[in-house]
């Protein structure tokens, strides 16, 4: 059990750990990282039955282990701001990020970031936010932050192990004379992504890159654009944007990867809306995760923002597509159920 105010864990030794060392219990029962265990050793942060204990001490059935996590510091300036919090527990907080806001400071912009706002929000409880994943500045939607380094370790491992699913929705152009997939039919883009050798801030599809896998299904389409639901299997930088551009279905508003499709769309009656849309039309719709210690499954969602709804409506799209997304927001490709 965790104590939010003091970052404390207390566990009672069960039969599975009878006769094991304190170190073994911390690493196997609570999934503490080796680095955190070393820090606890240096700070005398472990008690057994109320008495200071060494990591190599042997514990027995019924012993109570009390762990106080080390105090954390951060170099991020606290910036109080309004936050759209969609979920919170002792270990994580999920925030719905508006478009146009940086998730974290950059070398050129140090203030006005979501991380600064969460630093101010968590500071009274003595906690420090850690981003488990990130969103581009102009992508809206859900981001999960851990409240301390141990939770960050747990959820980083969960993400890497496939215990966390990220579902997005996007408005994309589609090819002329293109036969779209049937509604509800999942398709996969499996193309490696590397840093653009001519522009280090961009990414390209290249054989030398890291494997990147994107699953998607088309929810609805007009003659020029479609709403797609997207599930990431990997999480490369700009993955969704690069992948959809690579199959000639770039995101509406994506000035970095939009390419020649923009010129084809110029003759459409809604061209002004397409070309004026100020960001890539991408929203992080839903997060689903299985807690790496308790095994509990959590699902959180954030409805698509009004700018994407307006874009779709002006393109002649059926507004009921958003109702379908929200009615079954936890859909995933076969084999991806938690």
Provide the pairing of β-strand 225-232 with 164-173.
antiparallel
Could you tell me the residue range of the domain that residue 133 belongs to?
85-160
Of the residues 68, 102, 122, which one is the last residue of a structural domain?
A: 68
Q: Catalytic site residue 136?
A: yes
Cβ atoms of 259 and 245 within 8 Å: the answer is yes
R_g over Cα of the chain:
23
pLDDT in tens, the chain (338 residues): 344 445 788 889 999 999 999 999 998 888 888 888 887 876 677 899 988 888 899 999 999 999 888 788 888 889 999 999 999 998 999 999 999 999 988 777 778 899 999 999 999 988 999 999 999 999 999 999 999 888 898 898 888 888 888 999 999 988 654 455 577 789 999 999 999 999 998 999 999 999 999 999 999 998 888 999 999 998 899 999 999 999 989 999 998 998 665 555 655 666 666 778 899 999 999 999 988 778 889 999 999 999 999 999 998 899 999 998 888 655 667 666 66
Q: What share of the chain is helix, strand, coil (3-state, %, to 5)?
A: 25, 30, 50
CATH of the domain at 236: 3.30.2350.10
Distance CA 85, CA 83 (A): 6
Of the residues 160, 183, 208, which one is the last residue of a structural domain?
A: 160
Q: What is the largest CA-CA distance in the chain?
A: 76
Asked whether residue 89 falls in the same domain as residue 63, the answer is no
75 inside domain: no
SS3 144: strand
Domains: count for the chain: 3
pLDDT at residue 1, as a whole number: 37
Asked whether residue 59 falls in the same domain as residue 100, the answer is no
Distance CA 316, CA 223 (A): 9
CA angle 266/270/274 to nearest 5° reads 70
**306 to each of 88, 98, 273, 312, how far by Cα in Å?**
24, 11, 14, 10
338 inside domain: no
**72 to each of 75, 148, 189, how far by Cα in Å?**
10, 8, 40
Catalytic residue among 3, 63, 136, 323: 136
Asked whether residue 23 falls in the same domain as residue 156, the answer is no
């Amino acid at each position: 059990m965790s104590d939010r105010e003091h970052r404390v864990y207390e566990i009672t030794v069960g039969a599975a750990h009878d006769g094991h060392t304190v170190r073994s219990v911390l690493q196997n029962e609570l999934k503490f990282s080796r680095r955190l265990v070393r820090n606890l050793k240096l700070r005398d942060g472990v008690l057994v039955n109320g008495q200071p204990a060494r990591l190599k001490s042997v514990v027995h059935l019924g012993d109570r282990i009390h762990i106080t996590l080390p105090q954390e510091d951060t170099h991020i300036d606290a910036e109080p701001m309004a936050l759209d919090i969609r979920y919170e527990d002792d270990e994580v907080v999920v925030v719905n990020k508006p478009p146009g806001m940086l998730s974290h400071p950059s070398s050129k912009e140090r203030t006005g970031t979501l991380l600064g706002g969460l630093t101010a929000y968590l500071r009274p409880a003595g906690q420090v936010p850690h981003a488990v994943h990130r969103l581009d500045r102009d992508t809206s939607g859900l981001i999960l932050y851990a409240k301390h380094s141990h939770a960050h370790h747990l959820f980083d491992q969960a993400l890497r192990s496939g215990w966390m699913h990220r579902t997005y929705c996007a408005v994309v152009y589609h090819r002329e004379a293109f036969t779209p997939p049937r509604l509800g039919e999942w398709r996969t883009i499996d193309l490696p992504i590397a840093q653009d050798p001519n522009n280090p801030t961009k990414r390209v599809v290249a054989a030398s890159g890291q494997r990147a896998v994107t699953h998607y299904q088309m929810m609805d389409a007009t003659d020029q654009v479609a709403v797609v639901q997207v599930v990431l299997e990997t999480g490369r930088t700009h993955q969704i944007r690069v992948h959809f551009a690579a199959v000639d279905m770039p995101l509406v508003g994506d000035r970095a990867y939009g390419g020649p499709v923009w010129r084809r769309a110029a003759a459409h009656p809604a061209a002004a809306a397409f070309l004026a849309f100020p960001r890539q039309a991408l929203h992080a719709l839903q997060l689903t995760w299985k807690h790496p210690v308790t095994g509990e499954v959590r699902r959180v969602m954030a409805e698509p923002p009004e700018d994407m709804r307006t874009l779709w409506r002006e393109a002649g799209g059926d507004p009921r597509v958003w109702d379908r997304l929200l009615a079954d927001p936890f859909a995933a490709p076969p084999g991806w159920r938690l």
